[in-house]
Amino acid sequence: MWSLGKDIILGEILPRLPPKSLIRFKGVSKDFKTLISSRKFIQNYLCYHSRSSDDDDDLLVIPKDGSILCYRLDSSTPVATFTWHHQTVSVTGSCNGVLAIYSTLLNPTTRVFWDIVPMPYLRRNRGFAFDPVNLDFKIVGFSDERNNEAINTRITKVYSLNANSCTTLDTEFPTDSVEGLHNHGVVINYYLVHWVFWSPSLRKRRIGCFDVCKMKWTDDVLLPRYYYDQNRRNYFLDFGVLDGLLSASFENKVDSCFDVWVMMEYGVQDSWFKLFSIPISDNLQEGVIPVASRSRSAEVLIRQRRSSKFYWYDRADSRMSEAKFDGVPDFSRFEAFMCSRSMVKLPRGRLFDDR
């Protein structure tokens, strides 16, 4: 196989393989392990898979006051706007082309919506996922039962669109607290929802996972070994999804930069790979959150954690330029979600008009 040349293997053959095969092929030889673990290969792999989709297939969704603004990544003008007659609109998340907006499910592409059973006592710590086994959209929410300030039980509720009702689960949990930007669940593979928890006894953060197919909490997802290196004094900032991969952002106090990592093979700790680092500057002093990659380029859309500033970061030449989106205020804390464009149907749904 080496007679084909490393450039062909690196650029044309291996990037077409699924992550599970690549992890397995690391055991073939030292050359394969070095090749597959190299920064050049990881960048080729991500670029190849980003080319398999088009910017028009994804929407950047930004809640603003009582509205939802939807943008394509290659345009600063919203392609769709949805208005509610409320002061704020809280988005739980997006999955399989559908947005969960507090007590409403909405497909921005078809403009069809469905009002769900409200979960008012679980306004925070919610996640939105799709159960591929039962072909069902589900919302997961949880709250804590405390005894003398210690969390003894975590009450988990799961809303099913098919049943149009909630199921309550009682789960014993270690004493910890949830963290994250507005505590939204991060979804991988449609059905695995994640939150960041802080364990006071261990003085560490952990990623807890809920499986909407099995309707239970599963084993934690381990952060990069980099995070557990006490000598580097790393601080976990935030995590999310980038090109279908779990991503994590860290403040690197030693090198004065923000490091962004992706998990190439879900659940495999050694598959975490540092994708890029952004120096801390006067214009960029807060945590950075990767939002999406631009097709056919090495650019990644990032935003600052506590402001409305968006930037395009080019991994090829380490340059950063501010990204503008019409209608988004310059200085306000807000959220941003990626939603795929799809024709998925919502049972009993109705056509949206401004409400």
As a whole number of angstroms, the distance between CA 305 and CA 181 comes to 8
pLDDT digits (tens, 9 = 90+) for 239-288: 889 988 999 888 887 888 888 999 999 999 999 999 999 888 877 777 78
pLDDT digits (tens, 9 = 90+) for 181-229: 456 899 998 999 998 887 776 677 888 899 999 999 998 898 888 777 7
pLDDT at 298: 83
The predicted model gives 13-28 an average pLDDT of 74
pLDDT at 263: 93
- Are 83 and 354 in contact, with CB atoms under 8 Å apart? yes
> pLDDT category, 177, cuts 50, 70, 90?
low
The predicted model gives 143-167 an average pLDDT of 76
User: Amino acid letter at 154?
Assistant: R
The predicted model gives 154-172 an average pLDDT of 84
As a whole number of angstroms, the distance between CA 340 and CA 42 comes to 24
Domain ranges of the chain: 2-37, 49-351
> pLDDT category, 107, cuts 50, 70, 90?
very high
Least confident of 228-232, 235-239, 243-247, 310-314: 228-232
Looking at per-residue pLDDT, the higher value among 264 and 150 belongs to 264
3-state secondary structure 297-335: CCEEEEEECCCCCEEEEECCCCEEEEECCCCCCCCCCCC
The predicted model gives 63-71 an average pLDDT of 88
pLDDT at 87: 62
The predicted model gives 172-178 an average pLDDT of 62
Looking at per-residue pLDDT, the higher value among 78 and 182 belongs to 78
Average pLDDT score over the chain: 80
Residue 116 has pLDDT above 70, yes or no: yes
pLDDT at 178: 66
Burial call 300-327: b when 16+ CB within 10 Å, e when fewer: bbbbbbeebbbbbbebeeeebeebebee
pLDDT at 50: 47
Residue 308 has pLDDT above 90, yes or no: no
pLDDT at 51: 46
Other CB atoms within a 10 A radius of the CB of residue 85 amount to 7
pLDDT at 52: 47
pLDDT at 286: 74
243: left (phi over 0), alpha (psi -120 to 50) or beta: left
pLDDT at 231: 61
**Number of residues in the chain:** 355
- Are 136 and 111 in contact, with CB atoms under 8 Å apart? no
Using CB atoms within 10 A of its CB, is residue 195 exposed (0-12), middle (13-18) or buried (19+)? buried
Q: Considering only the top CATH level, what class is 49-351?
A: mainly beta
Least confident of 44-58, 77-91, 153-167, 260-274: 44-58
pLDDT at 53: 46
The predicted model gives 22-38 an average pLDDT of 78
Nearest CA to 289 out of 229, 338, 234 is that of 338
pLDDT at 219: 86
